[in-house]
Amino acid sequence: MNYRKAVLVCVAFLHTAYLCFTQELSEETQSQLTHYEQALKVAQDEGKYDNAAGICGKVAYIYWDNRKYAEAISYFEKSIEYNEKVNNRNGVKSAYYNLGLLRIDNEQYVEALNDFNSGIAIAKELNQKNHVLSGLINAASVSQSLGQNQEAINLALEALDIAKEMENLNLTKRCYGILYESYQSVGNSEKSIEYFDLYSTVDRFLRNEQEKKVKEESERQVAVISSQKAQSDRDLLSSNQKLQVAKDSLQRAREITERQRLQLKLNEVTLREQEAQLENERLIRNGLIIITSLTFLFLVILYLQYRQKQKKNKLLSKQNDQITKQKEEIQKQGKNLSIKNEELSAVNKEKNLMMSMVAHDLKKPINDLTSLSQILEQYKDKLPEDFNHLVSVLKKSSSGYREMVHKILDAGAIESRKLNVVQEKLNVREVLEDNAQSQSLTAGKKSISFDLGNIPDNSFVKGDRIYLTQAIENVLYNAVKYSPEGSVIELGAAASNGESLEIFVKDHGPGITSEDQKYLFETFKPLKNGDMESTGLGLSISKKYIEAMSGAIRFESSEGEGTTFFMELPKWDS
Please write down the HEC assignment for all residues of 441-492.
HHHHHCCCEEEEEECCCCCEEEECHHHHHHHHHHHHHHHHHHCCCCCEEEEE
According to DSSP, residue 537 is labeled: -
Task: Decide if pLDDT at 121 tops 90.
Answer: yes
| Segment 305-357, tens digit of pLDDT | 888 888 888 888 888 888 888 888 888 887 888 787 677 666 566 565 566 54
Contact 149, 191 (CB under 8 A): no
CA 92/CA 97 separation, integer angstroms: 9
- The letter for the amino acid at 189 is S
Quickly state the pLDDT bin for 132 (edges 50, 70, 90): very high
pLDDT at 381: 74
How many Å separate Cα 276 from the centre of its chain?
79
For the chain, state the CA radius of gyration.
40
Q: State the Cα–Cα distance between residues 410 and 359, nearest whole angstrom.
A: 9
In the predicted model, is pLDDT for residue 147 greater than 80? yes
Number of residues that this document lists for the chain: 574
Distance CA 521, CA 399 (A): 27
**DSSP per-residue string spanning 68-110:** -HHHHHHHHHHHHHHHHHTT-HHHHHHHHHHHHHHHHHTT-HH
Residue 507: Cβ-neighbour burial (10 angstroms; 0-12, 13-18, 19+): buried
DSSP secondary structure code for residue 573 in this structure: -
Give the lowest-confidence range in 1-15, 88-102, 369-383, 553-567: 1-15
Separation between Cα atoms, residue 521 and residue 277, nearest integer Å: 100
The single-letter code of the amino acid at 90 is N
**pTM, two decimal places:** 0.38
**Sequence spans of domains, the chain:** 3-204, 421-570
Whether pLDDT at 359 is above 70? no
- Which secondary structure element, helix H or strand E, spans residue 556, and what is its range? strand 552-558
Rounded to whole angstroms, the maximal C-alpha distance in the chain is: 154
Query: By the 8 A CB rule, do 205 and 176 touch?
Result: no
Question: For residue 433, how many C-alpha atoms fall within 13 Å in the half-sphere facing its CB?
Answer: 7
Q: State how far the Cα of 203 lies from the Cα of 207, in Å rounded to an integer.
A: 6
Beta-strand relationship, 488-497 and 449-454: parallel
Q: What's the pLDDT at 530?
A: 54
499 CB-side CA count, 13 A = 2
Residue 450's φ and ψ, nearest 5 degrees, are -110, 135
CA of residue 486 relative to chain centroid, distance? 46
DSSP state of 128: -
DSSP secondary structure letter of residue 513: -
Q: What whole-number distance in Å separates Cα of residue 486 and Cα of residue 258?
A: 131
Q: In DSSP terms, which residues pair with 529 in a beta bridge?
A: 532
Give the model confidence (pLDDT) of 233-253 as tens digits. 777 777 777 777 767 777 876
391-437 pLDDT per residue, tens = 777 766 776 676 566 555 543 555 555 678 889 999 999 999 999 99
For residue 555, list its beta bridge partners. 565
Task: Please report the pLDDT score of residue 574 as a whole number.
Answer: 66
Local structure of 558: helix, strand or coil? strand
The H or E element that residue 557 is part of is strand 552-558
32 pLDDT above the threshold of 50: yes
Domain 421-570 annotated CATH 3.30.565.10? yes
Mean pLDDT value across the chain: 83
Those residues with Cβ within 8 angstroms of residue 64's Cβ, 6 or more apart along the chain or in another chain: 72, 102, 105
Q: Give the pLDDT confidence score for residue 573 in this predicted structure.
A: 80
Instruction: Assess contact for 478 and 532: CB atoms under 8 A.
Output: no
Which pLDDT band holds residue 7 (cuts at 50, 70, 90)?
Answer: very low
pLDDT in tens, 83-100: 999 999 999 999 999 999
pLDDT recorded at residue 352: 57
Task: Decide the pairing of beta strands 500-506 and 562-570.
Answer: antiparallel
Q: pLDDT band for 9, please (50, 70, 90 cuts).
A: very low
The tens digit of pLDDT for each residue in 257-303 reads 787 788 878 777 777 888 888 888 888 888 888 888 888 887 888 88
- Map residue 503 onto helix, strand or coil: strand
Q: How many CA atoms lie within 13 A of 330 on its CB side?
A: 6
Predicted confidence (pLDDT) per residue in 461-520, tens digit: 999 999 999 999 999 999 999 999 999 999 999 988 878 999 999 999 999 988 888 888
For 41: left if phi > 0, alpha if psi spans -120 to 50, otherwise beta; the answer is: alpha
pLDDT at residue 14, rounded to an integer: 45
- Provide φ and ψ at 25, rounded to 5°: -65, 140
pLDDT in tens, 151-208: 999 999 999 999 999 989 999 999 999 999 999 999 999 999 999 999 999 899 889 8
| Coil, helix or strand at residue 301 | helix
Whether the CB-CB separation of 496 and 552 falls below 8 Å is answered with no
Class of domain 3-204: mainly alpha
The percent of residues in the chain predicted with pLDDT above 90, rounded, is 47
